Amino acid sequence: MPRWTDHEEAILYDLASSRSSREIGVVLGRSNSSIRSRASKLGLSLWHISKRFGWERAKTLHATRRPTIRDLEWAAGFLEGEGCWLRAGKAGFQSGAKQIATREPLDRLVALFGGAIYAVSHARNRSAGGKGKDGWEWRACGARGRGVAMTLYPLLSQRRQSQIRGALA
């Protein structure tokens, strides 16, 4: 593999906070392991979540705008259909939207609440005869996830409210 150029490192710095190593590898024409190795040497917070599903964790982003009432209603409606709230990992709590085919609604959630978007690949499942489409997933963990849940709580159905209560307990 050829040496890293300053231009490639600049691209890696720009993309590491919002893209997976797989996506960065496509842009730079390098392997996932090469991207992860170089990111580690540069001190970037790009790290692997699960080899089983091929998720890559990018640095958690902060919200870029203050949500309006209409934004909160949109987010509640979207997460009512596509969202989940669960107790997970070291952070203890996670809000998320699973397996979305298009990324635009997730970009809107990141702008409103922060969090991270992950590329999800089901190639291994398909090769074993399973089904599943590649897609995107949004997550807000820990205090950020609890904040999203409690902000939207009064706008959600009884079913989703009980899901949040169960995850917080």
Question: Domain residues of the chain, as ranges?
Answer: 6-47, 69-168
pLDDT at 54: 38
Residue 137: which of 93, 84, 80, 92 has the closest Cα?
84
- Beta carbons of 41 and 16 less than 8 angstroms apart: no
Q: pLDDT digit string (tens) for 43-101?
A: 776 644 333 333 434 456 778 889 999 999 999 999 998 888 887 765 567 777 776 77
The gap between the terminal CA atoms of the chain, to the nearest Å, is 50
What pTM did the predictor assign? 0.61
Q: For 30-51, what is the mean pLDDT?
A: 71
Which residue spans within 8-82 are E strands per DSSP? 47-50, 55-57
State the Cα–Cα distance between residues 69 and 13, nearest whole angstrom. 35
**All residues at 6 or more sequence positions from 103 whose CB lies less than 8 Å from its CB, including other chains:** 117, 136
For the four alpha carbons of 78, 145, 88 and 39, in that order, the dihedral sign comes to: positive
Burial profile 9-28: b = 16 or more Cβ within 10 angstroms, e = fewer? beebeebbeebbbebbbeeb
- Beta carbons of 75 and 113 less than 8 angstroms apart: yes
Q: For 122-127, what is the mean pLDDT?
A: 60
Q: Which CATH homologous superfamily contains domain 69-168? A: Homing endonucleases (3.10.28.10)
Tell me the CA distances in angstroms from 91 to 15, 30, 52, 139, 140, one per residue in order. 24, 32, 21, 12, 10
